[in-house]
Structure 1
Amino acid sequence: MHLLKRLCLVGTIAVWGTAASLATEQPSDIPAWLRSHIGEGEGQIAQVVLQRARALYLKKVAEGIVKNPCYFAMDATRPNGGRMGKRFYTICEADRSFRAVSTGHGSGRNMKGVPNFANGRECVKNFGNALDSYLTTGGAYVTAETRTSFKGYYRNSAKQDAALMRSFVQFDGEGETANARERAIGGHPAVLLRKIRYRWRPRSPHANEHGCGPVGTLEDYAGGRSNGCTTWSRSDAEKIIPLLKDPTTLYIYPESEDIKAVAQAVSARKPHLRNSSYWNAVCLKQIGAPKFWSREQLEPLLAQYHRDPEPAPSRPATCKP
């Protein structure tokens, strides 16, 4: 029987609840070939992350929301970069494929007058769902439309001007991730333009009303931090984004309840977390204890910060022929 039809039949047993209640399926319910990828080593996926990602996928297939043969997961407790940095997973059970790649995480922010909730480059300490927080929010997502937009021109390796066209896959969430669209949370290649200036380009379809086009220096920040989006290297994005032509699920670990449970375990000075909530040991040692910043907690502070006087707006971009 075709995999998706089979999933529709069994999907009703995968009850999706809060982080406190794990997926009802047992490890033995996972196909043997996929169980071989479970673990905390290089290129492996933690058991709880796979169980929840698979349960979410089965549920959305059973509801008729998802027909894509592939689904995705991310473990934001793992280090960013290095041998252990492959923490974004593509799982296609129809052809028995499993792939782990690197991805960025929310940078958070360190602003005057607001508690510091910035994250380091390697490990994530702060998570949250507040607007303008630049934080990663764990939980359930379904991928939506893909939009491709022009970002500007840059000088390529052939010393010619090239247009940077970047695709963005919108995520829709539920529960604590429900404001994903409001936060413009999605997935895209980890590239942008810095030091943007404007040049006379009257024939460019992207020129502004003054006949100018933006030109900048291309920056590849694959493996770095983001504004809360899921970011991939350009080469990985070229493989992942086409798989998202049809909606599918993405599960990001950890959720707020996981974060709170681990923080409590650390506070209680438990020697390890093997009998409680999962967290990557390398990052837990580095961050000490994680923290979840709810939008109710953080948004009023950010609103106060933005009420401070802003600098005068810059003049419209102009240039000369």
Structure 2
Amino acid sequence: MAALLFGGPQASVAAQQPSVPAWLSAHVGFGPGQIAWPVLSRARALYMQRVSEGKVKNPCYFAMDATKPNDPSGEKTGGRFYVICEASQSFRAISAGHGSGRDLKGAADFSNGRECARNFGNAMDSNLTTGGSYMTSEVKTTFKGYYRASGMKDAAYVRSFLQFDGEGETANARQRAIGGHAAAKVSGICMMKNPESPYANHDGYVPFGTLVTYAGGRSDGCTSWTPADATQVMSMTKDNPTTLYIYPESADIAAVAKAVGTHASLTQAGLYWNDDCLKEISTPKFWPKTTLEPIIVKYKQDHPPPPSKPIPICATQ
């Protein structure tokens, strides 16, 4: 179970929006595959607002509850990223990764575990998730390297990235390169001779490594999905933008932290946080960019990166 309902600075959102249809209300709750009311309420209000403004024509919208555990198996939560299509009465909960944060030794530790996020923020180079309102934008495709596929054949891995545009605390999403992509990468890179490849460099070499999926892991602040789910999300939003609402916002985090600090009941205070993760993280924290960015900048100045080394040539071709 999770702490109940919500209130605070945005409690009026629920009262302002039309009543939720019965089929969608059936998906509201704290069980596996369900969406907590504050998350749905705000996501739906955002979507309806953008539709009324003529900015969105997509029949579907997205929401994410970053207070829930990252659970690719679906056994605990049934997913925490929601794909909601009211016209077709479709509701789907899928897994999604959260921002890893960073541990700047001796300066600040705002790192997150794999399952639950304690730290949130909107600072550049913080690798943190920022809750709030977003719009999906263009899809960019990037070659990541070759890997050994089935049948001992080499395949090129090309990953798509769905850019998010935000407002308010999420307004620097594009500057931070925040968006969504598949939780997969080519790891252990070496350079392989392949002059016939369209991706070859001027010496005829291409990056080669092992394809790794990390749906149970974290990201650099982006939203990451399984490769299959990422393909679905990309196809839904290509040339057809929609809204994404990520919970919690900084005001929610501050209110929950205050309640935890005074041992107040979240339910009685009208606040929401997933119980399993709250037990794990104890107290959530939001790191505003005005506070965190100077720390990160100084840390970089004090710890310049070592000179880059050339990528090694693959031992076997």
TM-score with structure 2 setting the length = 0.91
Which whole-Å CA distance do the structure 1 matches of 2:265 and 2:52 have between them? 41
1:295 aligns with 2:297: no
Q: Which has the higher contact order (CA 8 A, sep 6+)?
A: 2
Q: Matched residue of 1:169: which SS?
A: strand
Q: Does 2:200 match 1:207?
A: yes
> Is the aligned partner of 1:60 residue 2:60?
no
Q: For residue 274 of structure 1, report the CA deviation from its aligned partner.
A: 4.7
- Tell me the amino acid that sits aligned with residue 223 of structure 1: G
Pick closer, same or farther for the CA change 1:274–1:253 going to 2, 3 Å.
farther
Corresponding residue of 2:61: 71
What's the RMSD between the two structures over aligned residues? Answer: 1.8
Q: Which amino acid aligns with 2:148?
A: R
Give the partner amino acid of 2:285: K
Q: What's the offset of the Cα at 1:44?
A: 0.3
Cα shift at 1:21? 4.2
CA drift at 1:223: 2.5
Q: Percent identity?
A: 57
8 Å CA contact retained: 2:161, 2:180: yes
Are residues 1:231 and 2:221 paired?
Answer: no
Kindly report which structure 2 residues correspond to 1:151-170, keeping only aligned pairs within 5 A, or say none: 151-170=144-163
What is the CA–CA distance in structure 2 between the aligned matches of 1:205 and 1:317, rounded to whole Å? Answer: 20
1:257 to 247, 251, 254: 251
Q: Provide the C-alpha distance between the structure 1 equivalents of 2:310 and 2:156, rounded to a whole number of angstroms.
A: 24
Residue 80 (structure 1) aligns with: 70
Q: Pick from 155, 162, 187 the counterpart of residue 194 of structure 1.
A: 187
For the residues of structure 1 that align with 2:38 and 2:260, how far apart are their CA atoms?
Answer: 19
CA distance in 1 between partners of 2:161 and 2:266 (Å):
39
Residues 176-191 of structure 1 aligned to structure 2 (within 5 Å): 176-191=169-184
Give structure 1 stretches of 5+ with no counterpart: 1-17
Q: Offset of 1:209 from its aligned partner?
A: 1.4
1:131 is aligned to 2:121 = no
- How many residues of Structure 1 are paired with residues of Structure 2 in the alignment? 304
Worse-matched range after superposition: 305-314 or 290-299:
305-314
Residues 107, 228 of structure 1: 8 Å contact kept = yes
User: Counterpart of 2:4?
Assistant: none
- C-alpha offsets along residues 16-68 of structure 1, whole Å, 9 cap, x if unaligned? xx954441446871111111110011000000100000000011111111110
Contact 1:56 1:140 in 2 (8 A): yes
Mark the CA change 1:139 to 1:64 in structure 2 (over 3 Å): closer, same or farther.
Answer: same
In structure 2, relative to structure 1, the CA distance for the partners of 1:19 and 1:220 (3 Å cut) is farther
Cα separation, partners in 2 of 1:27 and 1:56, compared to 1, 3 Å = closer
Q: 1:39 aligns with which of 3, 15, 29?
A: 29
- The superposition leaves residues 169-202 of structure 1 with CA deviations (integer Å, 9 ceiling, x where unpaired) of 0000000000000000001110001111101111
